[in-house]
Structure 1
Amino acid sequence: MNVLLILVLLGLSRTATGTPDTCESCGLRPMADGREISRVARSRDAQPGAWPWMVSVQQVWSTGIVHVCGGSLVGPRWVLTAAHCFVDARNVPTWRVLAGATHLAHDRPEVQVRFVKQLVLHEDYDNVSQKNDVALVELDHPVRCGPHVQRACLPDPSLPLSATANCYVSGWGTTSAKAAASPLVLQEFQVHLIDSHTCNGSGWHRGGVHPHNVCAGYPRGGGGDTCRGDSGGPLVCQDGRSDRFWLVGVSSWGRGCARAHRPGVYTSTQSFHHWILAKMGLDSPGTTTRSTA
């Protein structure tokens, strides 16, 4: 974990559709400008605005500010992350969220800082088995969406993952299990979804994967994988028919990093679709479900 500088809160000018300060769209990458996403297995530095729903969940100490977990904006006031990030959480007002950032120690106009109003952990979260490892963070006031800050799209349970294409993970976690420090620059890498039955089998995770989990990585190891500090971050997959990305998983747990037959395990957002919407107080899931276009 890194001690960070306190970043200046500055505004954004427009959204992907040109409408000032709104969050009507989701799952789009306005700053990508048609750039090819890295298809290499190992992580690389992400470009500014590459993953505009990505946030850093941080705790403020008297000695500085520490990155604890990743998270994804799912609404102007809401961040979806992992429950295990807050097992020992105390004093909620000392937690904050950094949106629009790529380099955690650089002040840039697109960076927005919000403090945490409340933590909402799943009522049945189990810290031993990591069942129901999902949480929502409510911000003290909304973010302003723009090219560097967008909300993620939550797929409803009817979206078949087979209808998605390339899948990616991003985060500020360590790049290997033996790394002494985490990078300050956001890392990105491609992963492959792995059949849950295979992932849970003998020689793999041996029954530790729950029905509400998704596995992603590389069967032979050595490729991209989440590691320490990536918890709570997004697993996104591109819609097979558009440029939109779906937030299909929340980084939950793993055994080591990038080991053979030990892919990363994620909390399936589809399994918790109703819970997420209910906790956010959304009566209608219209803007967060799968597109029929």
Structure 2
Amino acid sequence: MQQQLKHVKRAAVLGAISIAALGSMPAGAVAQTKGPSPSASIIGGTRAAEGEFPFMVRLDPVGCGGSLYADDLVLTAAHCVKASGPDTSLTITAGSVDLKSTAAVKVKSAAVYKAAGVPADWALIKLAKPINLPTLKIAETTKYNHGDFTISGWGSTSFGGDQQRYLRKATVPFLDDAGCAASSWGDEGDFYPGKQICAGGGSAGGVDICNGDSGGPLFRKNDVTDRWIQIGINSESACGHPGDPGLYVKVSTYAAKIKKEAARLHG
């Protein structure tokens, strides 16, 4: 079991996966480092409806997910990007659950801010031009860190499986710090209370992020407005291994810094 987990964690996806190859090209080996190889897919989920999560975006060629923080900014995982500074290497696809749809919008990246150090696995991508789609508000407090969360992405539906053409979704329950610390994340010293949040990981396993979902949001409905709010960023997973939850950046911890860097990128 431990050997399997070593190959699953940091659910980083093979780079250079073209959209044309989706559904036919294997996701590749999972990286065991914390470098900029993409991560995590939705295991045990179902296909999302068109327009259900309009803030979801895909990053290629790295094969990560992300969310629209603003019409010209994407929030994603730090290990999905190379470094802070000008960067035109990424193509952002949005506007459809089908990555090959003629309705999908494709925009190039212009610049990147990459947070430094573990466990600050978050980054912002400035787009070359705005995307006219709804954005996803981030949580600025921990008041929503409870209940059930939604995960969504175009990653594989099993460890080592294919990337998906169509967006998928699943529901995972909040796991408190004690539960997360009792999992293999805590055993291996990979869990940072206060800076990360865990979700899923029941004894049956089978519902989780996996290869290709890194950078995507962990989100739920706002209790007051009934609008989606982002609680976490997909960072690492055990791809549905029983007892091991998905590990996410706790957005509220970094909300002030995210807002500051977003303002700086807007210039």
Cα distance per residue 1:31-79 (max 9 Å; x no partner): xxxxxxxxxx8211111111111000113xxxxxxx5100000101110
Contact 1:198–1:204, Cα closer than 8 Å, also in 2: no
Q: 1:279 to 1:89 in 2, by over 3 A?
A: closer
Q: Report the Cα offset of residue 88 of structure 1.
A: 8.1
**CA distance, structure 2, for counterparts of residue 138 and residue 238 of structure 1:** 26
* 2:91 maps to 1:96: yes
What TM-score do the two structures reach when normalised by structure 2? 0.78
Letter in 1 for 2:51: G
Q: 1:252 to 1:202 in 2, by over 3 A?
A: closer
* 2:214 maps to 1:252: no
Contact 1:54–1:72, Cα closer than 8 Å, also in 2: yes
Contact 2:183–2:244, Cα closer than 8 Å, also in 1: no
Cα distance per residue 1:154-191 (max 9 Å; x no partner): 111253424xx531000011111142x11111010111
**CA distance, structure 2, for counterparts of residue 228 and residue 99 of structure 1:** 19
Letter in 2 for 1:136: L
Cα RMSD over matched residues? 2.4
Q: Which has the higher helix share?
A: 2
Name the counterpart of 2:155: 173
Cα distance per residue 1:234-280 (max 9 Å; x no partner): 100112344211100000012x3101121100001101101110001
Choose the corresponding residue for 2:226, options 243, 264, 281. 243
What TM-score do the two structures reach when normalised by structure 1? 0.71
Contact 2:85–2:111, Cα closer than 8 Å, also in 1: no
Contact 1:52–1:100, Cα closer than 8 Å, also in 2: yes
**CA distance, structure 2, for counterparts of residue 101 and residue 75 of structure 1:** 17
Letter in 2 for 1:133: D
Choose the corresponding residue for 1:125, options 117, 122, 128. 117
Query: Which aligned segments of 4 or more residues in structure 1 are displaced greater than 6 angstroms?
Result: 88-91
* Range moving further from structure 2, 72-81 or 205-214: 205-214
Q: SS state of the match for residue 198, structure 1?
A: helix
Name the counterpart of 1:116: 109
Q: SS state of the match for residue 205, structure 1?
A: helix
Name the counterpart of 2:33: none
Q: Report the Cα offset of residue 87 of structure 1.
A: 4.1
**CA distance, structure 1, for counterparts of residue 184 and residue 138 of structure 2:** 32
Letter in 1 for 2:191: V
**CA distance, structure 1, for counterparts of residue 79 and residue 257 of structure 2:** 17
Runs of 5+ in structure 1 lacking a partner?
Answer: 6-40, 60-66, 283-293
Name the counterpart of 1:198: 179
Letter in 2 for 1:4: I
Contact 1:221–1:262, Cα closer than 8 Å, also in 2: no
**CA distance, structure 2, for counterparts of residue 202 and residue 91 of structure 1:** 39
Letter in 1 for 2:48: A
Q: Whose RCO is larger (CA < 8 A, sep 6+)?
A: 2
Contact 1:189–1:224, Cα closer than 8 Å, also in 2: yes
The percent of aligned pairs where both chains have the same amino acid is 28
Q: How does 1:141-220 map to 2 (within 5 A)?
A: 141-145=129-133, 150-157=134-141, 159-162=143-146, 165-179=147-161, 181-201=162-182, 203=184, 205-206=186-187, 207-211=189-193, 212-220=195-203
* 2:78 maps to 1:106: no
> Considering only CA atoms, is the larger Rg found in Structure 1 or Structure 2?
1
